[in-house]
Amino acid sequence: MKNLCWLFLSLFWFGVFLIIRFAEGQNQEGFISLDCGLPLNEPPYIESETGIQFSSDENFIQSGKTGRIPKNLESDNLKQYATLRYFPDGIRNCYDLRVEEGRNYLIRATFFYGNFDGLNVSPEFDMHIGPNKWTTIDLQIVPDGTVKEIIHIPRSNSLQICLVKTGATIPMISALELRPLANDTYIAKSGSLKYYFRMYLSNATVLLRYPKDVYDRSWVPYIQPEWTQISTTSNVSNKNHYDPPQVALKMAATPTSLDVPLTMVWRLENPDDQIYLYMHFSEIQVLKANDTREFDIILNGETINTRGVTPKYLEIMTWLTTNPRQCNGGICRMQLTKTQKSTLPPLLNAFEVYSVLQLPQSQTNEIEVVAIKNIRTTYGLSRISWQGDPCVPKQFLWDGLNCNITDISAPPTIISLNLSSSGLSGTIVSDFQNLTHLESLDLSNNSLSGIVPEFLATMKSLLVINLSGNKLSGAIPQALRDREREGLKLNVLGNKELCLSSTCIDKPKKKVAVKVVAPVASIAAIVVVILLFVFKKKMSSRNKPEPWIKTKKKRFTYSEVMEMTKNLQRPLGEGGFGVVYHGDLNGSEQVAVKLLSQTSAQGYKEFKAEENTVALF
């Protein structure tokens, strides 16, 4: 009976444990946790130490290959570090993540090489956030792996994290995680906040993460020999939007000697770095009636608090720098020094330091980025360069695009798109019209079908449209023909089902056979007779004040030529330059239209010379 009670009790507590872990899993709203290299056919899993659900990165990146560290190393690492994704192809390979614009995010990337490829060559490469460099990953310096963190506010609903090849070694990544933070926390005057360190003052050996930290920040324990650790078993209120782990606030460090300041010294990676400090305090000792704890915060000899700091009993108080600070020579010396009226030494529960990372290059116009991504998806384009920002940095400009980049503070715009011979099929989708700064569009030599969309005429920046060599049908919209008369260059050659005349109607016309009476030789003779007739007329009217006939050259658009020849319906003959077609101008004048053939033995100059000669008559 006793054993049975123990069994029921064990099952009860196991059930409680499962409910708690389930609740924690449900509270991961907004978390993105990618196990890089995990096969897509493997289901998401719960990581055992944090209870966080990880899933494959396959749907967030279009390139790369998967690898796995040796079996003997897997047991020493978290499950998400067992697999990885590496990038032997291309220079820039990017994750594309859906985020909330204007929301503060903690972004964490983990890299563990583990000699997965057997080459024993630790890679070195850069990592970009959007179009700006974030950091350099050098696994030769840290062979046991490294973790990079940044607190960043995305400027759009799409965030790109890119690995950039900078030498002979191949970039790789083990895990990528995003954690949304409270919007009124970790605010920098400019730029983003690059993690420098985050600690709680304790002689413990446990790294604190989720679920103890609701934002899944990593807190490292830290203590110095000249400090004394104090602690409490009472609960400490940790709710002030920064919400550090309650475990961290239950412990603190104070100087062992009353009159000695609590001192911390650290060296910055770059001497010119600007930093932000975040200190979390809570009084965890019951003070006697005549006891007081008050202290100042001194950075490199300068008092940076405006009044003495007095922690509240069992309540969190976060003190932070609202403006970035610099440390002379890159060496920072922070001291907590008790004030004259204080009877107790200073204390510190937890401490965070971040350096400022400026991200000066603006992203490409967001509307245009969405449009070009939709075009990529619609037509199944898989160009390896089509990752990350389409326009910047310039060395990673997408193939087939040209952009207007005026200033790093202004969003670049797409002004040219060349998708010629790209295997496109289907209709011309409406996403093209959202490329509002486009000047040139080349969709030639594909298998596009359907009508020529009228929205092309509303794209006021467009100067050149090449739709030749497709399977388009129907009539050219009148608005587009009007734009052509205004100077738009439109090429629609090679679309057999496309009607180029303004007389196009939905129902097919009955074909009328046209009988050519005169052979080519006779036409040449008629031309000679006409020329002789014109010459005699000129001679007889030489003394008249005005010439008998006044001629000048006139330019016609391609569509107008197609209209006057009824889509090149009636060939008259063929010469050295190409075929001559019969045409009707305004229903009153008959004309002959000569087209220069691409296979002509004579060149454009000779064709132009003949045109000028004919224009004299």
140: Cβ contacts below 8 Å, ≥ 6 apart = 122, 124
Length of the chain: 617
- What is the rounded CA–CA span in Å between residue 133 and residue 147? 16
How does DSSP assign 540-596, residue by residue? HTTTSSS-S---------HHHHHHHTTTTT-EEEE-SS-EEEEEEETTTEEEEEE--
- 3-class SS at 529? helix
* Under 8 Å between Cβ of 490 and 465: yes
Number of other residues whose CB lies within 10 A of the CB of residue 255: 21
Cis peptide preceding 44, ω within 30 of 0: no
- What is the rounded CA–CA span in Å between residue 535 and residue 533? 5
DSSP 510: P
Q: How far apart are the first and last CA of the chain?
A: 122
- What is the rounded CA–CA span in Å between residue 174 and residue 69? 10
Place of tokens 């260059």: 489
Residue 606 structure tokens = 């000779």
Annotation-wise, does 552 bind a ligand?
no
- What is the rounded CA–CA span in Å between residue 95 and residue 107? 13
Nearest residue to 294 (alpha-carbon basis) of 307, 285, 277: 307
Residue 182 CB burial class (10 angstroms; 0-12, 13-18, ≥19): middle
Residue 199 structure tokens = 């600690």
* Residue 89 one-letter amino acid: D
* Residue 255 one-letter amino acid: P
- What is the rounded CA–CA span in Å between residue 430 and residue 422? 18
C-alpha distance from residue 153 to each of 183, 185, 192, 440 (Å) = 9, 11, 7, 34
In three state form, how does the secondary structure of 223-263 look?
Answer: CCCCEEEEECCCCCECCCCCCCCHHHHCEEEEECCCCCCEE
125: Cβ contacts below 8 Å, ≥ 6 apart = 136, 137, 163, 164, 165, 166, 167, 169, 170, 171
- 3-class SS at 314? coil
60: Cβ contacts below 8 Å, ≥ 6 apart = 34, 95, 96, 97, 176
Per the annotation, where are the binding residues for ATP? 594
* Residues making up the binding site: 594
